[in-house]
Amino acid sequence: MRVEIVAIGTELLLGQIADTNSQWLGEQLAAHGITSHFHQHVGDNHERIVATLRTALSRSDAVITCGGLGPTQDDITRAAIAEIMGVPLERDERIVDVIRTMFERRGRDMPENNLLQAEVPRGATPIDQVRGTAPGLICPVGDQVIYAVPGVPYEMSEMFERSIIPDVIARERAAGRQAVITSRVLRTWGASESGLAEALAERIKILEGSEELTLAFLASGIEGIKVRMTARGRDHAHALEILRHEEAHVRAAIESAYGDVIFGVDDETMEHSLAQELVARSLTLAVAESVTGGLVSSRLVNVPGASAWYRGALVSYASDVKFDLLRVTPGPVVSATAVQEMADGVRQLLGSDVGLAITGVAGPESQDGQAPGTVFVGISLRGVTHHSKFSLPGDRPRIRQYSSISALQALRQILRQGW
C-alpha cells in the first residue's frame, strides 16, 4: 500500500513550527513495511486542501492528514474531506458528549466552537479522542481511504498507533501485499559525506535496482554523517537478517577507508558510546573546558547513570583559571602543551582516572597565533598525556559544538586503542 502524508496548517508554510509529524509518520510507516513516496504541506485554505487531497489520492492508496481538526474557523480539514467524499457533514452527538465531559472534568464550560469537532463526514468512522478534544477520522473514498488526525504530536501518535496502523495493516493483508521495512543507521564522526560515499561506492553499485536493500547518507551537522541501511523483508526476522549481513559489509568498507569513525548505531549518541567504553574499563572521567564553555559536560550528563563514572568539570575559560587551578604553565593557552597540562591538572584536581581537556579559538579573531577553528584536545590517563589538533569549520557556535563531539570522539578512540 502506498500512503501519502499531508500536513495541514499555514504555520507550517510560514516556518513558524517544524513538521515533526510527517517525519515520525514516515518512520512508523516504513517500520511496518508501508511505502510512503510523497509528503505534502498545505495551508488552511479549503480549495487548496481539496486540490492537495485529490493529488494525493491520484497516486496513493491512502492519505494521512495531520492538522485542521480543531475548534476554530481555520480548522477546515473535515469539510475538505467531506467534499472529496461527496457527502455532507453530520453532527455526532456521542462526540459532543465526550467533549463536554472532558470540559466538565476540568471544571469548565464547553465553548460552542467545540461542536465543530463533532462534525463527521457521512460514512466516515470517528477515531475516539483520548488525549485531546479532537477525534480523528477514517474516511473511505471508494477503494481508497483518508485518515485524519490532529496536528498535536502527542494526540496524533496515539491515534496512529491505536487505530490507523491496524487499519492499514488489515487492508494490506486483505490485498495480500504485506512486507516489513526496517532501517539501521550507523553514526560516524571524522569522515565527510563525499568520502563515505566514495568508500561505499562498490556497495552502492551492487545494490542498484535492489528492491530488498538501499543505502543512503544523512548529513546531520554537529552530530556527523549517518549511513542508513533500509531493508525490505517478508517479515521482521528476514529484514533484520538482511540488515545484519549488509552492516558487516558497510562497516568493513568504512573502517578500511577511515578507521574507527563509526561511533554508534541508530539513536546511540557519542556520549553514550564513550560512557560504554569508560564503564567497560572501570574508569572515571573529569573534564577541563575552555572553548566549549561547558558543552562537553552538558552532553556527558545526558547519559543516565553518569554519576557512576563522571567526576565533574572545570570550565577554565579565563587564562588565570588555567594557571591557578589546573597548574598550566603561564604562556599561550591555545597550544598542545597547555591542553595536556589542563587534562592532567583536572584529573588530579577531581581525582579521576582520566582527564579530558579542550582549548581553542572559536573566533571571530585569532588567539595565541592560532586561527579561528583551531582546537586542541588533551587526554591524561594515569599520568600519561596525549593531544590532538583539529581545524574545524563554521561560525562560533558551530566550532564550539564541533569541538565538543571531536573531544569525545578523540577520547573514545584512544580508549578503544588500548592506550
DSSP 34-92: -B---EEEE-S-HHHHHHHHHHHHHH-SEEEEES--SSSTT--HHHHHHHHHT--EEE-
Give the three-state DSSP class for 20. helix
Q: What is the sign of the dihedral through the CA atoms of 128, 131, 133 and 135?
A: negative
CA proximity to 326, closest of 369, 287, 294: 287
Dist. CA 256–CA 321, nearest whole Å:
42
This prediction's pTM: 0.74
* Structural domains present in the chain: 3-174 (3.40.980.10), 180-265 (3.30.70.2860), 280-416 (3.90.950.20)
Find, among 379, 397, 401, the residue nearest to 388 by Cα: 379
8 A C-beta contact, residue 156 and residue 150 = yes
pLDDT of amino acid 232: 84
Please check the confidence at residue 265 and state whether its pLDDT lies above 80: yes
Radius of gyration for the chain, computed over Cα atoms and rounded to the nearest angstrom: 27
339: region left, alpha or beta (phi > 0 left; psi from -120 to 50 alpha): alpha
Asked if residue 105 has pLDDT above 90, the reply is no
Nearest to 158 by CA among 131, 125, 135, 138: 131
Per-residue model confidence as pLDDT tens digits over 176-203: 766 777 889 999 999 999 999 999 999 9
Query: How much is the pLDDT for 178?
Result: 66
Per residue in 5-16, pLDDT tens?
999 999 999 999
**Mean pLDDT, rounded, for 126-151:** 94
**Phi and psi angles of residue 63, each rounded to the nearest 5 degrees, phi first:** -130, 135
- Burial of 164-186, coded b for 16+ CB within 10 Å and e otherwise, reads bbeebeebbeeeeebbbbbbbbb
The pLDDT of residue 55 is: 98
